[in-house]
């Protein structure tokens, strides 16, 4: 096939509003999956789209040569909702190139990153006619909602997906856009709380003082999650946390230095002061410590002006970020028990548990970890830092369990890529560097 223009292809990919959490976008997810299948078969792979109970999974592979190692490259074509829309400089699904970056929802998370791998493979196939490894692309459409259908898919396609290792670019470089190999990601466990009070919204003058207010009850409950220093107060929350090895504390300190310390993180977050659990550096708090976060809260009157109402209910959406060896199910149970114990009479607490995935950690000094580091260095010209990152890719633990292999995380997103935020972007040099990296990576992984 003819040489593909990387930026043209990326812009085509970014125009699909493939938002997995919103049912009205199901057709966009489908057409995005079809677009990928066409691209992958156009470059010479055997590509297929598989329907699931949710968004389809795209698979593509080379013929298996038993004398070669097998590498599975995982990515996702679904994206987060673009909201809030008024935060964007230009519309989220109309890619814009400016100052060496491409702006669009999904630019870095994950379309730019997975496309770099596809284009790397395309180049090698065009030039050499074959790859140094047996290759499988597994590109799903539900990562941003916790991959609810991928576990079953992995089980059903276990043989087709058999491999020696997984390579993933769905993480970020270190602050300062320094290349990094991520060797640990946090897990996640989601929970929604609904506090139900009176049968209907009441007049706050006629009933205030006589009836528990669900919004106040919820606020009090949420305030019991942490002490003033950011330590989580749920009994047993930290019991299974694997302590940091001395080399990890050193790696975190190196990273802190290379990354410009707290000032750089303050700048990225846009806050005047950082906040978090005492006794750990900011880098450690993000990558190596578990947290409890409130992601959303609501209840009562939200319109203009005032309304004297005692609302009938209030809700909050929570996620816990977990580290090895915390068990998401154990954490959700402990949290529910703790919150129930403190719920006063006069209201009902409903707890709905959502998606979850355990934390993931590998050995960055394993032979494949070293080959990954070499590829990052070859493509980006500096020895990669070792990173524990705070985000989650819940399927990693499942890949290990079902396929029995480790995942190596070679992040291409720039730290200021604003993933999940307005004006998400990817540095074009990272995208193009990713194409080079893929070629060095497959070469290195094939050799051992
Ligand atoms: N690509 C991210 C995860 C990530 C980003 C890890 C940067 C490390 C550094 C992924 O798409 C993501 O956002 N995952 C979700 C998972 C959740 C919705 C189940 C997350 O971490 O919130
Ligand atoms: Zn994401």
DSSP three-state, residue 47: strand
Calpha distance 242→290 (Å, rounded): 11
160 C-alpha to center of ligand 1: Å?
Answer: 26
Query: What strands lie across the sheet with 187-196, from one edge to the other?
Result: 291-299, 313-322, 187-196, 348-357
Q: Is there a contact between 365 and 202 (Cβ–Cβ < 8 Å)? A: no
* Burial class of residue 230, CB neighbours in 10 A (0-12, 13-18, 19+): middle
Ligand closest to Cα of 180 equals: 1
Q: What is the mean pLDDT of residues 43-72?
A: 98
The answer to whether the CB of 133 is under 6 A from ligand 1 is no
- Judged against a pLDDT cut of 70, whether residue 270 lies above it is answered with yes
Ligand 1 in reach of 175 Cβ (< 6 A):
no
Quick one: angle between helices 6-14 and 428-447, nearest 10?
Answer: 110
Half-sphere exposure of 330 (CA within 13 A, CB side): 15
CA of 162 to the centre of ligand 1 (A): 25
Q: Could you identify the residue written with the tokens 């975190």? A: 252
Answer yes or no: is the C-beta of 170 below 6 A from any ligand 1 atom: yes
Helices (H), 245-311: 246-258, 261-269, 282-287
Q: Is 393 in the pocket of ligand 1 (CB under 6 A)?
A: yes
User: Ligand 2 centre from 77 Cα, in Å?
Assistant: 10
Give nearest CA residue, ligand 1 atom 19. Answer: 146
Which of 267, 261, 257, 293 shows the shortest CA–CA distance to 418? 267
DSSP single-letter state for residue 137: E
Q: Which two tokens stand for residue 334?
A: 């402990």
- Please compute Rg for the chain using Cα positions: 23
Ligand 1 atom with the smallest distance to the CA of 170 is 1
| Joined tokens for residue 225 | 């999650």
The β-bridge partners of 102 are 97, 426
Helix (H) or strand (E) holding 350: strand 348-357
CATH architecture of the domain covering 6-185+360-447: 3-Layer(aba) Sandwich (3.40)
Contact in structure between 403 and 158 (CB atoms under 8 Å):
yes
Write the pLDDT tens digit of every residue in 89-114: 999 999 999 999 999 999 999 999 99
Q: For residue 212, give both structure tokens.
A: 């528990």
**What does DSSP assign to residue 71?**
E
71-95: average pLDDT: 98
Query: What pLDDT does 4 receive?
Result: 87
Q: How far is the CA of 316 from the centre of ligand 2 (A)?
A: 21
Percentage of residues in the chain with pLDDT exceeding 70?
A: 100
CA of 144 to the centre of ligand 1 (A): 7
Q: Is the CB of 391 under 6 A from ligand 1?
A: yes
Closest CA to 121 of 49, 31, 46: 46
Domain ranges of the chain: 6-185+360-447, 187-241+290-357
The two three-digit tokens of residue 226, written as one number: 């942490």
Please tell me the distance from the alpha carbon of residue 301 to that of residue 304, in angstroms, as a whole number.
9
* Ligand located closest to 169 CA: 1
- Atom index in ligand 1 nearest the CA of residue 319 equals 22
Phi then psi dihedrals of residue 353, to 5 deg = -90, 145
* Chain segment 359-409, per-residue pLDDT in tens: 999 999 999 999 999 999 999 999 999 999 999 999 999 999 999 999 999
Q: What pLDDT was estimated at residue 254? A: 87
CA distances from 96 to 8, 36, 358 (A): 11, 21, 36
What pLDDT sits at residue 261?
86
Q: Candidates 393, 395, 407: which one to mutate for ligand 1, based on the most atoms within 8 Å of Cβ?
A: 393
What's the rounded mean pLDDT across residues 134-149? 97
CA of 170 to the centre of ligand 1 (A): 8
C-alpha 187, offset from chain centre:
10
Per-residue confidence at 315, pLDDT binned at 50, 70, 90?
very high
Phi and psi for 47 in degrees, rounded to 5?
A: -115, 145
Is the minimum distance from the CB of 328 to ligand 1 under 6 angstroms? no
Phi, psi of 227 (to 5 degrees): -85, -175
CA angle (408, 413, 419) in 5-degree steps: 115
pLDDT (tens digit per residue) in 253-268: 888 888 788 998 899 8
CA dist 379 and 437 (Å) reads: 5
Q: Which of 391, 413, 416, 426 for a ligand 1 pocket mutation test, highest count of atoms within 8 Å of Cβ?
A: 391
Whole-angstrom distance, CA of residue 159 vs CA of residue 275: 47
8-12, 101-105, 187-191, 242-246: segment of lowest average pLDDT: 242-246
The answer to whether the Cα torsion of 406, 407, 408, 409 is positive or negative is negative
How far is residue 166's CA from residue 147's CA, in Å, rounded to a whole number?
17
Q: What is the signed CA dihedral for 5, 6, 12, 16, rounded to 10 degrees?
A: 170
Residue count of the chain: 448
Please tell me the distance from the alpha carbon of residue 360 to that of residue 328, in angstroms, as a whole number: 12
The side-by-side arrangement of strands in the sheet containing 425-427 is 96-98, 101-103, 425-427
Q: Residue 1: pLDDT above 70?
A: no
Q: Are 103 and 10 in contact (CB under 8 A)?
A: no
DSSP codes of every residue in 185-244 = E-EEEEEEEEEE-SSS-EEHHHHBTTB--HHHHHHHHHHTSB-TTS-B-STTTTTTPPPP
Q: What is the pLDDT of residue 134?
A: 98
- No. of helices (H) and no. of strands (E), the chain: 13, 18
Distance, CA of 276 to chain centre: 21
Atom of ligand 1 nearest to the CA of 76: 11
For residue 419, pLDDT over 70 is answered with yes
CATH class of the domain at 187-241+290-357: alpha beta
């Amino acid at each position: 096939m003819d040489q593909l223009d990387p930026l043209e292809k990326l812009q085509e990919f970014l125009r699909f509003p493939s938002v997995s959490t919103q049912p009205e976008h199901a057709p966009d997810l489908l057409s995005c999956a079809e677009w990928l299948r066409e691209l992958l078969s156009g470059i010479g792979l055997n590509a297929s789209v598989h329907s699931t109970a949710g968004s389809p999974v795209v698979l593509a592979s080379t013929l298996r040569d038993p004398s070669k190692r097998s590498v599975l490259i995982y990515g996702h074509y679904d994206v987060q909702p673009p909201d809030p829309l008024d935060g964007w400089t230009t519309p989220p699904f109309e890619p814009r190139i400016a100052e060496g970056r491409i702006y669009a929802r999904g630019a870095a998370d994950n379309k730019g990153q997975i496309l770099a791998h596809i284009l790397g493979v395309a180049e090698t196939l065009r030039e050499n006619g074959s790859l140094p490894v047996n290759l499988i692309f597994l590109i799903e459409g539900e990562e941003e909602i916790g991959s609810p259908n991928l576990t079953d898919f992995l089980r059903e396609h276990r043989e087709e997906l058999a491999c020696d290792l997984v390579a993933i670019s769905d993480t970020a470089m270190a602050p300062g856009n320094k290349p990094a190999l991520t060797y640990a990601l946090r897990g996640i466990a989601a929970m929604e709380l609904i506090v139900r009070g009176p049968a209907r919204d009441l007049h706050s003058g006629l009933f205030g003082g006589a009836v528990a207010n669900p919004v106040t009850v919820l606020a009090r409950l949420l305030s019991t999650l942490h002490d003033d220093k950011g330590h989580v107060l749920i009994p047993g929350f930290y019991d299974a946390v694997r302590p940091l090895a001395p080399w990890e504390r050193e790696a975190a300190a190196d990273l802190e230095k290379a990354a410009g310390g707290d000032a750089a993180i303050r700048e990225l977050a846009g806050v005047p002061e950082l906040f978090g659990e005492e006794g750990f550096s900011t880098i450690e708090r993000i990558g190596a410590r578990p947290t409890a976060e409130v992601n959303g809260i609501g209840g009562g009157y939200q319109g203009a002006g005032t309304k004297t109402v005692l609302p009938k209910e209030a809700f909050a959406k929570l996620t816990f970020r977990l580290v090895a060896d915390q068990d998401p199910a154990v954490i959700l149970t402990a949290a529910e028990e703790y919150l129930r114990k403190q719920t006063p009479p006069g209201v009902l607490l409903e707890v709905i548990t959502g998606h979850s995935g355990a934390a993931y950690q590998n050995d960055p000094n394993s032979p494949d970890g070293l080959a990954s580091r070499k590829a990052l260095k070859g493509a980006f010209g500096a020895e990669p830092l070792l990173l524990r990152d705070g985000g989650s890719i819940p399927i990693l633990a499942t890949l290990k369990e079902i396929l029995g292999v480790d995942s190596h995380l070679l992040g291409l997103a720039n730290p200021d890529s604003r993933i999940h935020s307005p004006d998400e972007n990817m540095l074009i040099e990272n995208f193009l560097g990713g194409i080079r990296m893929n070629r060095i990576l497959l070469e290195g992984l094939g050799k051992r």
